[in-house]
């Protein structure tokens, strides 16, 4: 092995970089309110859910699948969420929010299922509305991504918000 070989990024690092580029593209679509393009990043079998976080001594800090969640969408309900945000009559978004999605700490590992990877990322989402309404959301995402037609698609997304109490009047942002 030469010094040049040692300096080359590992396959895992390249995979994480490729997934990070996918996430940056996704963030741009959301910040530019290109929701119809964003929904195309998901498979028709996708799940998109955010378990409630709890504070209790000695127990896990999040609810499990099938328990209380902020939202627990399949692809059909995610499409409805996108349609609602895109509608001109969406009262929670008149006028539309301005968002900035910051994605960090992206890691990806090969899955046991061929063509799939497990990916994790952290996020900060800043949302502003009207003249003085501002909200910031912090958390992480755990995804299962799969290759479809040469591109990454989201099969499963679990959103873990760091908040226990929300000061926002609504959560009309996409993660």
Q: Each residue of 55-104: pLDDT tens digit?
A: 666 566 666 666 677 889 999 999 998 998 887 766 777 788 899 999 99
Q: What's the chain's Rg over C-alpha atoms?
A: 18
**Which secondary structure element, helix H or strand E, spans residue 118, and what is its range?**
strand 116-129
Handedness of CA 54, 135, 108, 85 (dihedral sign): positive
Pairwise pLDDT comparison (66 vs 153), residue with the higher score: 153
Q: How far apart are the first and last CA of the chain?
A: 43
Percentage of the chain lying above the pLDDT 70 cut: 82
pLDDT at 168: 65
Chain Cα centroid distance, residue 20: 12
**Quick one: pLDDT band at residue 7, thresholds 50, 70, 90?**
very low
Alpha helices in 11-142 (DSSP H): 11-31, 35-39, 75-86
Contact residues for 12 (Cβ-Cβ < 8 A; gap 6+): 108, 109, 110
Pairwise pLDDT comparison (86 vs 155), residue with the higher score: 155
Would you say residue 105 has pLDDT above 80? yes
Contact residues for 67 (Cβ-Cβ < 8 A; gap 6+): 51, 52
Question: 38-57 burial, b if ≥16 CB within 10 A, otherwise e?
Answer: bbebbbeebbbbbbebeeee
Q: What is the mean pLDDT of the chain?
A: 86
165 vs 44: CA distance, rounded Å: 32
Handedness of CA 80, 86, 88, 90 (dihedral sign): positive
């Amino acid at each position: 092995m030469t010094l040049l070989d040692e300096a080359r990024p590992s396959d895992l690092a390249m995979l994480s970089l490729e997934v990070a580029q996918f996430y940056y593209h996704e963030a741009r679509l959301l910040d530019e309110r290109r929701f119809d393009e964003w929904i195309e990043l998901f498979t028709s079998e996708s799940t998109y859910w955010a378990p409630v976080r709890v504070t209790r001594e000695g127990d896990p800090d999040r609810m499990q699948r099938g328990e209380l969640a902020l939202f627990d969408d399949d692809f059909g309900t995610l499409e409805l969420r996108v349609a609602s945000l895109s509608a001109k009559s969406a009262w929670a978004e008149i006028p539309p929010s301005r968002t900035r999605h910051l994605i960090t700490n992206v890691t990806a590992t090969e899955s046991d299922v061929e063509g799939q990877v497990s990916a994790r990322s952290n996020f900060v989402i800043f949302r502003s509305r009207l003249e003085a309404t501002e909200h910031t959301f912090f958390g992480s995402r755990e995804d299962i991504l799969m290759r479809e037609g040469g591109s990454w698609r989201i099969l499963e997304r679990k959103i873990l918000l760091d908040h226990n109490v929300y000061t926002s009047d609504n959560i009309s942002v996409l993660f």
